[in-house]
Each structure stands twice: as structure tokens, then as C-alpha cells.
Amino acid sequence: MENTAEIDFEKKEELIKAALDEFTEKNFSEASLNTIIKKAGISKGSFYYHFENKEDLYLYLLNHAFNAKWEFIRARGDHNPATLEKDDLFAKIKIQARLGAEFAAAYPQYYQLAMKFSSEKGHEIYDTALDMLGNKSENIFDEMVEAAIRNGNIKDHFSRDFVVKILRYLINHFNEIFDHQEGIGLDELLADLDNFVDFLKYGLSR
Amino acid sequence: MENTAEIDFEKKEELIKAALDEFTEKNFSEASLNTIIKKAGISKGSFYYHFENKEDLYLYLLNHAFNAKWEFIRARGDHNPATLEKDDLFAKIKIQARLGAEFAAAYPQYYQLAMKFSSEKGHEIYDTALDMLGNKSENIFDEMVEAAIRNGNIKDHFSRDFVVKILRYLINHFNEIFDHQEGIGLDELLADLDNFVDFLKYGLSR
DNA sequence: GTTGGTCTAGACCGCTCGGTCTAATCGAAA
DNA sequence: TTTCGATTAGACCGAGCGGTCTAGACCAAC
């Protein structure tokens, strides 16, 4: 794909739709490019004219999904955790997690894609994609935790590393823990979420 | 495979070794039977004489791994959580998790196999294997949690379901959270483990 | 009308996959 | 020594894969 600009062609919509369907159902290696282009009603020649290969398409989709999330969060900038300097770590986490949940509800396919992607850990494609995306959000998150530790809000017999690992992992895997499926109600999800963050707070803060 | 009895044939050892290597590196669908039998120095004909297919081999390995774990835990029956009636839930969890960690250290390949297996969730093979194994351990675990809730040791604004889901998931994914690699020292691992269970205790109990 | 670049169609390629099939080998029983 | 079931070897099969390649459709410029 020409990374310089947004390319456009006749059946781009159909291709993206078909690719999303495939990549949210199967992981990268199991997903079939043939299936995708058949579903999109596009020929091999057309596909390979616009994209380098299967990986190119996958990265393109991932990029779109993450951009959508950033845009979604930016549009609700008033609630952005970075703007709430006075609140404590867990209040920020709650807000951030809420935004994540709302995004998942608004763009379920992008959310599912991100879930499938996170299960690619250990595969080549995972590191390739991380390189491309540049994980800014993780750094912001780490800084939030660091600040909380400095301020003495965390039980002090837990090391910084310990706290960061737990929080990062648990927040990312919240949906997996409570295996919220596609059609779950947002209210129900947010109730679980609040309880979950409370649990984290009791567990880590003093 | 004839499930009735333990079958035996000349290069069984090599086959199991090769299969473990493959199934701990790749997931079920990506693992190559051709690679396995080549590595084991066995022919297609021999393989298909002793096993039905690739799935049969995989289930055979899984079964062996889980039996090994049961045997391992049985051999340390004196520390079995079921025998410690008076201790609280989190003490039991600590003991159980310790056993798991020691098993992982003693049989790293079996442990890795189980990890890879748990990431098969959503695939057909996952349910097939669960059916075969019959998840007894989960039931025992659920009963432990139920008992703790009945005894009033858990914060009462957390529902039973909530507590069970959190504990079951977090205990199973402990190693993933702290991404302990193969050669990690047991001491280091147990230190993280103790802290982690403390975190769970603070988070859930009153 | 001819040229020439853009885009599409789909046959085709080489490869790997899980699985099948048949001929050959082997060893014990007769 | 012959026989016969148990076991092995590996050629072979059809299918699917990602990716390549060429012929031609389309269309604007000249």
C-alpha cells in the first residue's frame, strides 16, 4: 500500500468490511486472503495492485482501528484522564476504562480486532504491528502509575514493577475476565467495571 | 489411538518429544504433523497406524500433561488445600498456586503446553479437549470460593459470580501477567506469587 | 484514432498441509 | 519353510494457501 496518502478505489469499502469479518474471526495466520477477496468481490490482481500482501492489509486495518480509538477518545477530551490532575490513580483508571468500554460498544468490530491482535503475542506479526503503532498509550499509563507511587498512594511493599504489571495486564484483560460478548448491555458492563476498579483499589492502595 | 490401554511402539519416546516441541511452539492449527514425524524419525504410515490423526496426538499429549500434574499434586498430598479446612481461602490459594509453580518448574514443557492450550479458547479443539479432560479442578475451586463467601470472609458488595470469575482468571493467568519465562528462578517466582495473592486478599476480603 | 498509463480479472505457480493407500518388511506360529 | 497378522515406509492425493503474471479493459491525452 502506498503509505503516503489514503488510497481509494472502487470496492475499498467492501474489502475493508470483508477483511474485518475475517480478521475478527480468525487470527492472522488462519485468516484467508482468498476468502476475503472472494467475499469482497474483488480479484487477486486488484488486491495486489493496492496492497503489498496480506500483512499490509492487516496492518492497514489495525492502524484504522487504533486511529478510530484515538479519535473517539479525543472527541471526549473533557473526560480525558490526563486533564484530571487532582484525581487519584484509580479514578483516572475508571475513566479510561469507561472510555474503552464505550469505544468497544460503539465500534465492536474494531474492538474485536484489537482483541484478536493482542492474542498474537509471540508471533512475528505482533511485534511488527507494535513497531508500526508505536505504543504511546502504554507510556502515558506507566507515568500515571509512577506518579501515584511517588505520591505514596500505593501500598509500599509492592514494587513499582509489580504494580505496573498488574494494572496494565488487568485493565487490558478486563473484558476477557468477564467474557463480555458482542451484544452485552453497556450498563451491565460498566457495573462490572466499577466493581473491578474498586477491587484493584482495595488491592493496591493503602 | 486405542484409548483402552497404553499403547507402545518403538519410537514412541521420540514422537512424544517431537510433538511436545512442536505443540509448545505453535498452536494446534499451526503445528505441523509433517514436522513432528520428521523430527521423530517416523513415517506417515507408522504414525497413522498408532494415532487417528493430529488431533488424537494432541489430546493424548494434553491428557498426559494433566495426569502428570494430578500425580505431582497427589504426591504432595500433605499440602493439599482440601486437607486444610481451617485455613482461609487465600492461604489455600497460596498453597495451590505454589504447587502449580513447582509443577511448572519441574515439567516446563507440560506447563508450556497447558499455556498454549489455554490460548486455544474459541477454537473447536479447546472445547473438545475440555470435554475429554472433564474439568474437575474448576469445580473444587468454585466450592472453595463459595465456602469463603458463606463464611463472610469476602467483601459483601462483590457478588459470588464476580469473585469466582476474578479469582479463577487471575490465578490461571498469573504466569502470563508476570511473563515468567522458561528459565526463571523459582524463588523469584514465588516472591511474586506471594505478593500477588496478598493483592487478591486485600482486594477481595474484608 | 492511436498511444500509454491505470486498474482489473483470473489462470497459474510452488508449496505445505492433513490424510490415504499399497507394497514391503518383519517375526512368531505352524 | 511357509504363512500370516502386525507394523512400517513413503509415494501419492486433493485442497488450500499466499503470491505472480499476463492479457485485456478502460480512459484521458494527443
- Report if residue A2 sits inside a domain: no
- Please check whether residue B118 is in contact with residue B129, taking contact to mean a CB–CB distance below 8 angstroms: no
Mean residue pLDDT across chain B: 88
Distance CA B204, CA B156 (A): 9
- Report if residue A114 sits inside a domain: yes
Of B178, B195, B204, the CB nearest to A199: B204
Distance CA B72, CA B124 (A): 29
- Please check whether residue B28 is in contact with residue B125, taking contact to mean a CB–CB distance below 8 angstroms: yes
* Better-scored residue on pLDDT, B67 or B141: B67
- Give the confidence band of B176 by pLDDT, cuts at 50, 70, 90: confident
Q: What percent of chain B has pLDDT over 90?
A: 59
Name B203's Cβ contacts closer than 8 Å, sequence gap at least 6. A199, A200, A202, A203, A204
pLDDT digits 0-9 by tens, A138-197: 767 788 888 888 888 899 889 988 998 999 899 889 988 987 766 677 888 899 999 999
**Distance in Å from the first CA to the final CA of chain A:** 51
Per-residue confidence (pLDDT) for residue A182, from 0 to 100: 66
- Report if residue B151 sits inside a domain: yes
Size of chain A in residues: 206
Flag whether residue A171 sits within 8 Å of chain B, measured between CB atoms.
no
The conformation of residue A8, written as its DSSP 8-state character, comes to: -
- Report if residue A1 sits inside a domain: no
- Chain D: nucleotides below 7 Å from protein CB are 7-12, 16-23
* Better-scored residue on pLDDT, A54 or B145: A54
User: What is the domain count for chain A?
Assistant: 1
Range of the domain at B147: 12-204
- Report if residue B173 sits inside a domain: yes
**What is the chain B residue with the closest CA to A193?**
B162
Q: Which window residues (15-74, chain B) lie with Cβ within 7 Å of strand C?
A: 31-35, 44-45, 48, 53-55
* Residues from chain A contacting residue B206 (CB–CB below 8 Å): none
Distance CA A64, CA A114 (A): 11
* Better-scored residue on pLDDT, A164 or A41: A41
Flag whether residue B204 sits within 8 Å of chain A, measured between CB atoms.
yes
Per-residue confidence (pLDDT) for residue B144, from 0 to 100: 84
- Please check whether residue B174 is in contact with residue B193, taking contact to mean a CB–CB distance below 8 angstroms: yes
Q: What percent of chain B has pLDDT over 70?
A: 87
User: Is pLDDT at B137 greater than 80 in this prediction?
Assistant: no
Could you tell me where the beta strands, DSSP code E, fall in B47-121? none
Q: Which window residues (4-63, chain A) lie with Cβ within 7 Å of strand C?
A: 9-11, 42-46, 48-50
* Residues from chain B contacting residue A195 (CB–CB below 8 Å): 157-158, 162
- Give the confidence band of B3 by pLDDT, cuts at 50, 70, 90: very low
Nearest of A128, A130, A115, A125 to residue A24 by alpha carbon: A115
- The CATH number linked to A185 is 1.10.357.10
Of B30, B166, B177, the CB nearest to A165: B177
- Report if residue B5 sits inside a domain: no
* DSSP string over A147-197: HHHHTT-B-TTS-HHHHHHHHHHHHHTHHHHTT--TT--HHHHHHHHHHHH
- Report if residue B93 sits inside a domain: yes
- Report if residue A126 sits inside a domain: yes
Per-residue confidence (pLDDT) for residue B90, from 0 to 100: 92
Of B166, B173, B196, the CB nearest to A199: B166
Average pLDDT over residues B157-174: 90
pLDDT digits 0-9 by tens, B19-37: 999 999 999 999 999 999 9
Torsion angles phi and psi, residue A28, rounded to 5: -60, -45
